[in-house]
Amino acid sequence: MNAVELLTLVASGENSRVQFKENVTNAVSIAQEMVAFSNSKGGILLIGINDKNGAVMGLSFADMQRINNLLTTAANEHIKSAIVIETETVDVEGKKVLIAHIPEGTDKPYMDKEGLIFVKNGSDKRKVISKEEISRLLQSSGNQYADQTILHQSTIKDIDWGLFREFYERKYKEEITFEDFPAKMENLSLGKDGKINLAGNLLFGKNPQRLAPDCYITAIWFQGNDLAGTKYNSSENIGGDLARMFKDAQKFVIGCLRKVQNGKDFNSLGDLEIPEIVINELLINALIHRDYFIHDSIKVFVFDNRIEIKSPGRLPNSLTTEQVKVGVSRRRNHILASYALDVLPYRGAGSGVLRALQAWPNIEFQHLPEAEQFNVVIHRAVEVG
């Protein structure tokens, strides 16, 4: 970084990726700042800059030597797991500024020496205390997946034996006995020690919502186009296993759509105003790729001019909406995605979104990370009424 680039950063002020420090004297407090950067998107510490007015104060040679040693000590001894940082010095009209580059971590969550976890919150940091957020940090670094979570109140009896047997014999072309059932569930990563995990529950559970009450679909058919509107045609909470939720949600949405003739004979049944493949692919994407660490339902809202599918959770692993639209995929729930091929009309590999866009280009993707939500808006061709 040169002096011009540095001054441009300073002129823009502090933010979630850039922080000013006039000096650094405490390894504990600077370690907490680095923990917050590592647990977020990484960032830069500009040391020698007044954090109140952005003035370049500069550092002495002795200060730079001391701070470099302090930063290294903090990164190695005050952060679990230890992180690797890079430092450089920039001269601004004779004043030395030390720059520390802290990368986004690959072993989240990072914590300080006392076991405290921090993330960036704008230009500040905040402590993480909720189990759900810690789980999402683990998930973001590939250390934990929501669908692997063991449901400790469960037993093997919570699985629909007939449903599982039909799946197993169809997929593996061999018979299975009830005595083999627990071992097969564990071998297929669907449970452990007589308990089932979230994936096993959602795929083959007798009553999945008893063990996972937030794993359902809220479906509402509104009158008009206003989310705050109080009038609606119908609504229901759609539960059951993944296959049942998909079928019932698909039936709900299709029941709200109009038929159009598309040049066909007037006496023909006509076509759905939005191709069925669009509804199928986007509902399946929501069920397979939502963040199951977040205790909320999938929302399917039908308005006169659009359909909205709201999935809990931000896009995983730095995925962007532009990447989603060209078929780039990141698996969040590995077990569900593996077995979805056998229980849903799912093909994976990001191809579902491409098929939906080819059939109906008027689809909008909205990533709302602050709200922990990903929305898909399917615009209807003609407003009703």
Residue type at position 89: T
Which of 3, 29, 33 has its CA nearest to residue 100?
33
Q: Are 223 and 305 in contact (CB under 8 A)?
A: no
Query: What Rg do the C-alpha atoms of the chain give, in angstroms?
Result: 26
Q: Does residue 155 share a domain with residue 130?
A: no
The chain-wide mean pLDDT, for the chain, equals 89
pLDDT on residue 197: 95
Comparing 35-49, 139-153, 281-295, 307-321, the range with the smallest average pLDDT is: 139-153
Query: Residue 46: which of 66, 10, 20, 69 has the closest Cα?
Result: 20
- Residue 384 predicted with pLDDT over 70: no
**Region of 194 on the Ramachandran plot (φ > 0 left; ψ -120 to 50 alpha; else beta):** left
What is the predicted pLDDT for the residue at 269? 66
CATH number, domain of 288, equals 3.30.565.60
CATH number at residue 15: 3.30.950.30
Same-domain pairing of 89 and 132: yes
pLDDT over threshold 80, residue 137: no
User: Does one domain contain both 54 and 85?
Assistant: yes
Same domain, 36 and 134: yes
Question: Could you tell me if 248 and 126 lie in one domain?
Answer: no
In a domain, 361, yes or no: yes
Question: Domain limits at 190?
Answer: 146-211
| E-only strand ranges, 13-136 | 18-21, 43-47, 79-80, 86-92, 95-102, 111-112, 118-121, 124-127
Domain count, the chain: 3
Instruction: Report yes or no on 128 lying in a domain.
Output: yes
State yes or no: pLDDT of 357 exceeds 60: yes
More confident residue, 46 or 132: 46
Q: What is the pTM of this model?
A: 0.69
pLDDT of residue 385: 42
- Residue 231: band (very low, low, confident or very high) from pLDDT cuts 50, 70, 90: confident
Residue 339: pLDDT over 50: yes
pLDDT at 267 over 60: no
Q: Residue 141 above 70 pLDDT?
A: no
pLDDT at position 44, please? Answer: 95
Does the residue 385 lie in any domain? no
- pLDDT at site 316: 79
194 contacts: CB under 8 Å, gap ≥ 6: 155, 156, 182
**Residue 138, pLDDT score:** 72
Measured CA to CA, the distance from residue 376 to residue 218 in angstroms comes to: 15
Q: Which of these ranges, 34-43, 78-87, 271-280, 347-356, has the smallest mean pLDDT?
A: 347-356
Check whether residue 367 and residue 294 sit in a common domain. Answer: yes
Same-domain status, 260 and 365? yes
For the segment 82-93, the average pLDDT, to the nearest whole number, is 92
384 belongs to a structural domain: no
pLDDT tens by residue, 162-221: 999 999 999 999 999 988 888 999 999 999 999 999 999 999 999 999 999 999 999 999
